[in-house]
Amino acid sequence: MKKQIIVTGGAGFIGSNLIEALNKRGENHILIVDDLGIDDKWCNLVGLNYADYMEKNDFRSRLHNNSLEKADTVFHLGACSSTTERNAAFLADNNYRFSCELCEWCLRRNTRFIYASSAATYGDGSEGCSDDIGKITRLKPLNMYGYSKHMFDLWALKQGLLDKIAGIKYFNVYGPREAHKGDMRSMIHKAFCQIRETGKVCLFKSHRPDYRDGEQLRDFLYVRDAVTVTMFFADNRNINGIFNCGSGKKRTWLDLASAVFTAMRREPQIEFIDMPEVLREKYQYDTEADVSRLRKAGYTAQFASLEQGVLDYIEYLQAGGQ
């Protein structure tokens, strides 16, 4: 009998790409947990092979009354990822408390627990972007989403669990199956739509004198690389802790826009617009994943360059993908 795999957030962006990768390995005894709501996230399930789907609230109730089938591996990717979500109580319950409950359930059953943290935990980057465990307590996220992720990292640290579970700090992931995220989808998807509709791309002006417009820096990661890293921790159950998941090479928003124009075979036309005031004090100007611990742990695959990932993604979008 095949062992069950649970993927929370399985209808979401990284989750649905992970399930596609699991299917390619012949894995289909998969329970998908999500909250489909009223958007088009359900489209990400089309074509995937899985055993069952369960709404998050139903899953959580069954978690509490111990009526769930034992799982071999839990990929806990489900969360509210909106960096502008203002309901702190909701984020604390949904992203933090639920994670604690699921982690404890897994540990009681010797189930492999792999969870999504976030680069948003690094805040303004003044403490760097090192996943050194000794630096966790110094981090100061800039928004409640990042803090809700940080809360769980801190809980796992204080409970002494980081030698039993694997956490992944995803940086700026982009790629297929993100259209449902609306305003939270990657700038690559937004740029593709803007160019197709208006012929130009709008980027935020810099509101710091040490960064010129468009030269704010991000570590952009293609979703297929994010999935490969995630699978690495499923294949290597003895490797635990919290690890960065990024390309390890920061690039500017101008680099990103240029890559999209090139992939679409268009001449660059870029307009700089004011950043909304609500974002200005919570905006990350410089992120770059330190992946030295990931490499030291044995991960050897190369990450796609921004140009390679964007070209592949734009070809997918031009073929009608979402």
Q: What CATH code is carried by the domain that includes residue 119?
A: 3.40.50.720
Q: By C-alpha distance, which of 229, 207, 183 is closest to 77?
A: 229
Are 83 and 196 part of one and the same domain? no
Q: Is the pLDDT of residue 136 over 70?
A: yes
Are 187 and 114 part of one and the same domain? no
Boundaries of domain holding 58 = 5-172+219-247+292-300
Q: Which residues are catalytic?
A: 145, 181
pLDDT given at position 301: 97
Confidence of residue 284 (pLDDT cuts 50, 70, 90): confident
Mind listing the pLDDT tens digit for each residue in 256-271? Answer: 999 999 999 999 999 9
Mind listing the pLDDT tens digit for each residue in 174-192? Answer: 999 999 998 889 999 999 9
**How many residues are present in the chain?**
322
Are 129 and 239 part of one and the same domain? yes
Q: Which residues contact 305 (CB under 8 A, 6 or more apart)?
A: 247, 249
- In the block, residue with structure tokens 């611990």: 293
Are 165 and 118 part of one and the same domain? yes
Confidence of residue 246 (pLDDT cuts 50, 70, 90): very high
Question: What global pTM score does this model have?
Answer: 0.95
Burial of 98 (0-12, 13-18, 19+ CB in 10 A): buried
| CA distances (Å), origin 11, targets 19, 100, 142 | 9, 21, 27
Share of the chain above pLDDT 70, in %: 100
Q: Is the pLDDT of residue 128 over 90?
A: no
Mind listing the pLDDT tens digit for each residue in 44-60? Answer: 999 999 999 999 999 99
Which CATH number belongs to the domain containing residue 206 in this structure?
Answer: 3.90.25.10
Confidence of residue 126 (pLDDT cuts 50, 70, 90): confident
What is the total count of domains within the chain? 2
Query: What is 159-202 written as a DSSP string?
Result: TT-TTT-EEEEE-EEE-SS-GGGGGGS-HHHHHHHHHHHHS-EE
Mind listing the pLDDT tens digit for each residue in 3-32? Answer: 899 999 999 999 999 999 999 999 999 999
Are 90 and 210 part of one and the same domain? no
Strands 5-8 and 30-34: parallel
Q: Is the pLDDT of residue 114 over 80?
A: yes
Mean pLDDT of the chain: 95
pLDDT given at position 18: 98
- What DSSP state is assigned to residue 1? -
Mind listing the pLDDT tens digit for each residue in 290-315? Answer: 999 999 999 999 999 999 999 999 99
Residue 97 half-sphere exposure toward CB, CA atoms < 13 A = 9
Share of the chain above pLDDT 90, in %: 89
The CA distance from 177 to 221, in Å, is: 14
Are 16 and 112 part of one and the same domain? yes
Are 53 and 178 part of one and the same domain? no
Least confident interval from 68-72, 225-229, 283-287: 283-287
Q: Is the pLDDT of residue 245 over 90?
A: yes
Q: Is the pLDDT of residue 1 over 70?
A: no
Are 120 and 181 part of one and the same domain? no
Are 28 and 141 part of one and the same domain? yes
Are 208 and 261 part of one and the same domain? yes
Are 181 and 44 part of one and the same domain? no
Classified as helix, coil or strand, 107 is helix
Q: Token pair of 177, please?
A: 């199956």
Are 26 and 123 part of one and the same domain? yes
The CA distance from 112 to 165, in Å, is: 7
